[in-house]
């Protein structure tokens, strides 16, 4: 992938909506003096580090009247969150923990409390700021009863559209961004409603920020259309990947991996249209229902997050969703999906949280998951395998949507390690893998040499060993079994995982797992595994090999 190798390539994001997260009152007038709620983020830094988070995207923090997207001053922290000095402490603490900071840049519109709009309300046509706003008309009245009207964002007249062709407006916004860069050392901006913003402004913004920091990151909120129209060398660095957001949950709900596979291949496969872009991937955010509320089966949460962290692009976790919290919009209100949360309300051993911690570590440790190419290996309605290749490592990620274990084969591999469980797989003709119900495996072809020597099938030995003190086995019984599937003489099926050595006797031991049952794992001497037993007067294998 041809891209500048800066911090964003390795970013694992955590998305916080501060006004909700910090428990701020709904309206700014309810908080007449600043209250230092924003300092709460510092208390979560250890939590972020446990998840291997190295970047945070903070929703609106600038002064506003209500929800943050109605800015009243671009150079002040919302007093419901605290002061600029409080926020400086937060930025310093995050940076000390090696965590980058991306702020929400709401530059398409402002609130009616914006200082320049208040001047227009006071001085009408005589205001020096009358041309700061788009569509000003002093011959009509607004729905608020003003003696003028203006262009509102999507018909919401509490949101006044800025005139980004006005040089004074552009300079004010750029100088505001410069202030946050210089005093708070922010590392990037997420541009709200990017599809509504004049592209010339983005050109100016990119030139301005890159001159001050070549690694400053600009990401736009884009829901529909061709992402490369906004994410390119002239405008922004990245955009929100809403196409895959929908596919990530919908493919699981409909048991149709073809849906998400189509999007991934279209974006990043051979000839993919976004192969040179790092898109911002997510499964929920401050505008949509929580993932746990839209998935039909909660057990699919694990596969969705496994896909989020192993697909091309930049993964982002919306605060609290690492614990599988549920929330949906009610009557158009976003309050429920933007709650105040406290770490004390959640268990550190929560299995979904621990799974996401593991995924964060794997993405940080394996360059193939950050830089790797994307290739589809197998696509079925309820199974999907794709691989990521980079340098000397190839990682295969396989998913199973069914309620039963599924056995699949990766033809290109003869050995591999599941990065989730550390299980070693080996085989002669392809790699046979077993995927748990609603589970996934992440198989790397890089295995520690010493570990591999301990687990690969051994050559047949000429000496006799005693697996059972009361029984001596013949040479035929000592032939080491092949890795693969076996049927026990009583009918159950098992997967022979690998051959291990007894730590005291150095005896060869068969390690195998029950299939189509409780998945229990068993160990017995290889001599007993390969021996025959008498059934109805006939000698039959205790375990009969039935294939990969």
Cα 178 from chain centroid (whole Å): 30
- CB–CB of 395/444 below 8 Å? yes
Task: Please determine, for residue 466, whether its predicted confidence score (pLDDT) is greater than 80.
Answer: no
Q: Which of these, 374, 323, 373, lies nearest to 352 by C-alpha position?
A: 323
Task: Please determine, for residue 463, whether its predicted confidence score (pLDDT) is greater than 60.
Answer: no
Structure tokens at 152: 């509102």
If you write DSSP's letter for every residue of 484-497 in order, what string do you get? EEEEETTS-EEEEE
495: which strand partners?
485, 513
- Buried residues in 503-541 as b, exposed as e (16+ CB within 10 A): eeeeebbbbbbbbeeeeeeeeebbbbbbbeeeeeeeeeb
How far apart (Å, rounded) are the C-alpha atoms in residues 391 and 368?
8
Q: Which of these, 68, 76, 87, lies nearest to 28 by C-alpha position?
A: 68
Task: Please determine, for residue 4, whether its predicted confidence score (pLDDT) is greater than 60.
Answer: no
How far apart (Å, rounded) are the C-alpha atoms in residues 422 and 436?
15
Task: Please determine, for residue 519, whether its predicted confidence score (pLDDT) is greater than 80.
Answer: no
- CB–CB of 238/278 below 8 Å? yes
Say which residues have a Cβ less than 8 Å from residue 348's Cβ, sequence separation at least 6. none
| Average pLDDT of the chain, as a whole number | 91
Q: Which of these, 28, 23, 55, lies nearest to 40 by C-alpha position?
A: 23
Give backbone dihedrals phi and psi of 395, rounded to 5 degrees, phi first. Answer: -120, 125
Say which residues have a Cβ less than 8 Å from residue 520's Cβ, sequence separation at least 6. 513, 514
Q: Return contacts of 506-515, CB within 8 angstroms, 24+ apart.
A: 507/465, 507/467, 508/458, 508/465, 508/480, 510/481, 512/486, 512/543, 513/434, 515/405, 515/407, 515/434, 515/485
87: which strand partners?
none
What are the distances in angstroms from CA 178 to CA 89, 216, 226?
Answer: 19, 11, 30
How far apart (Å, rounded) are the C-alpha atoms in residues 158 and 360?
40
Structure tokens at 223: 């829901």
- Residues 90-146: tens digit of each pLDDT: 999 999 999 999 999 999 999 999 999 999 999 999 999 999 999 999 999 999 999
- Residues 307-358: tens digit of each pLDDT: 999 999 999 999 999 999 999 998 889 999 999 999 999 999 999 999 999 9
Q: What size, in residues, is the chain?
A: 548
Task: Please determine, for residue 369, whether its predicted confidence score (pLDDT) is greater than 50.
Answer: yes
How far apart (Å, rounded) are the C-alpha atoms in residues 213 and 44?
27
What integer pLDDT is reported at residue 433 of this predicted model?
A: 94
Please give the helix or strand (H or E) that residue 438 lies within, else none. none
What integer pLDDT is reported at residue 537 of this predicted model?
A: 73
Helices (H), 5-70: 18-21, 40-43, 45-50
- CB–CB of 178/212 below 8 Å? yes
What's the mean pLDDT in 405-426? 94
How far apart (Å, rounded) are the C-alpha atoms in residues 246 and 310?
17
Say which residues have a Cβ less than 8 Å from residue 211's Cβ, sequence separation at least 6. none
Query: Looking at 177-186, 475-484, 486-495, which range is the least confident one?
Result: 475-484
What integer pLDDT is reported at residue 464 of this predicted model?
A: 30
Cite the beta strand spans of 274-313 per DSSP E.
280-282
Would the pTM of this model clear 0.95, i.e. be above it?
A: no
Highest mean pLDDT among 2-11, 367-376, 489-498: 367-376
How far apart (Å, rounded) are the C-alpha atoms in residues 83 and 76?
7
What's the mean pLDDT in 354-376? 98
Say which residues have a Cβ less than 8 Å from residue 336's Cβ, sequence separation at least 6. 327, 328, 329, 330
If you write DSSP's letter for every residue of 107-145 in order, what string do you get? -SEEETT-HHHHHHHHHGGG-TTGGGBTT-BTTS--TT-
What integer pLDDT is reported at residue 94 of this predicted model?
A: 98
Task: Please determine, for residue 28, whether its predicted confidence score (pLDDT) is greater than 80.
Answer: yes
By CB neighbour count within 10 A (0-12 exposed, 13-18 middle, 19+ buried), where does 111 fall?
Answer: buried
- CB–CB of 389/401 below 8 Å? no
What integer pLDDT is reported at residue 270 of this predicted model?
A: 93
Task: Please determine, for residue 399, whether its predicted confidence score (pLDDT) is greater than 60.
Answer: yes
- CB–CB of 285/334 below 8 Å? no
Task: Please determine, for residue 373, whether its predicted confidence score (pLDDT) is greater than 80.
Answer: yes
- Buried residues in 362-387 as b, exposed as e (16+ CB within 10 A): bbbebbbbbbbbbbbebbbebbbbbb
What are the distances in angstroms from CA 389 to CA 371, 421, 446?
Answer: 8, 21, 12
């Amino acid at each position: 992938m041809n891209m500048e190798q800066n911090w964003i390539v390795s970013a694992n994001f955590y998305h916080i909506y501060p006004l909700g997260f910090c428990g701020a009152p709904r309206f700014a007038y309810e908080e007449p003096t600043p209250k230092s709620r924003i300092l709460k983020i510092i208390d979560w830094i250890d939590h972020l580090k446990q998840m291997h988070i190295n970047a945070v995207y903070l929703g609106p923090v600038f002064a506003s009247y209500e929800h943050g997207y109605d800015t009243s001053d671009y150079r002040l922290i919302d007093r419901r969150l605290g002061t600029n000095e409080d926020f400086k402490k937060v930025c310093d603490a995050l940076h000390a923990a090696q965590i980058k900071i991306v702020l929400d840049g709401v530059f398409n519109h402002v609130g009616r409390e914006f200082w320049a709009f208040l001047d227009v309300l006071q001085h009408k046509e005589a205001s020096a700021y009358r041309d700061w706003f788009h569509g000003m008309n002093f011959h009509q009245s607004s729905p608020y009863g003003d003696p003028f009207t203006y262009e509102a964002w999507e018909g919401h007249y509490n949101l006044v559209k800025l005139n980004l062709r006005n040089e004074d407006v552009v300079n004010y916004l750029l100088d505001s961004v410069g202030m946050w860069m210089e005093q708070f050392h922010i590392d990037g901006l997420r541009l709200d409603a990017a599809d509504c913003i004049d592209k010339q402004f983005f050109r100016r913004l990119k030139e301005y920020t890159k001159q001050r920091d070549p690694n400053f990151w600009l990401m736009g909120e884009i829901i529909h259309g061709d992402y490369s129209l906004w994410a390119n060398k002239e405008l922004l660095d990245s955009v929100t990947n809403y196409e895959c957001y929908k596919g990530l949950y919908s493919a699981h709900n409909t048991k149709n991996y073809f849906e998400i596979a189509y999007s991934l291949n279209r974006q990043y496969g051979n000839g993919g249209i976004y192969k040179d872009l790092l898109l911002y991937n997510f499964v929920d955010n401050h505008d949509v229902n929580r993932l746990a509320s839209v998935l039909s089966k909660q057990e699919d949460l694990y596969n969705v997050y496994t896909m989020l962290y192993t697909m091309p692009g930049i993964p982002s976790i919306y605060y609290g969703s690492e614990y599988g919290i549920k929330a949906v919009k009610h009557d158009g209100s976003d309050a429920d999906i933007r709650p105040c949360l406290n770490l004390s309300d959640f268990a550190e051993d929560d299995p979904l949280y621990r799974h996401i911690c593991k995924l964060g570590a794997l993405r940080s440790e394996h360059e193939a998951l950050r830089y790797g190419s994307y290739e589809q290996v197998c696509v079925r309605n309820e199974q999907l395998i794709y691989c990521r290749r980079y340098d000397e490592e190839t990682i295969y990620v396989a998913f199973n949507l069914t309620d039963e274990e599924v056995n699949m084969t990766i033809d290109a591999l003869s050995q591999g390690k599941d990065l989730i469980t550390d299980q070693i797989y080996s085989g002669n003709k392809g790699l046979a893998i077993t995927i748990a119900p609603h589970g996934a495996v992440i198989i790397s072809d890089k295995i520690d040499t010493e570990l591999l020597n301990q687990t690969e099938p051994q050559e047949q030995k000429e000496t006799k060993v005693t697996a059972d003190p009361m029984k001596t086995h013949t040479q035929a019984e000592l032939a080491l079994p092949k890795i693969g599937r076996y049927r026990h003489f009583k009918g159950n099926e098992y997967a022979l995982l690998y051959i291990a050595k007894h730590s005291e006797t150095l005896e060869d031991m068969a390690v195998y797992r029950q299939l189509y049952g409780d998945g229990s794992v068993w160990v017995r001497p290889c001599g007993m595994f390969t021996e025959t037993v008498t059934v109805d007067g006939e000698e039959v294998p205790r375990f009969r090999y039935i294939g990969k």
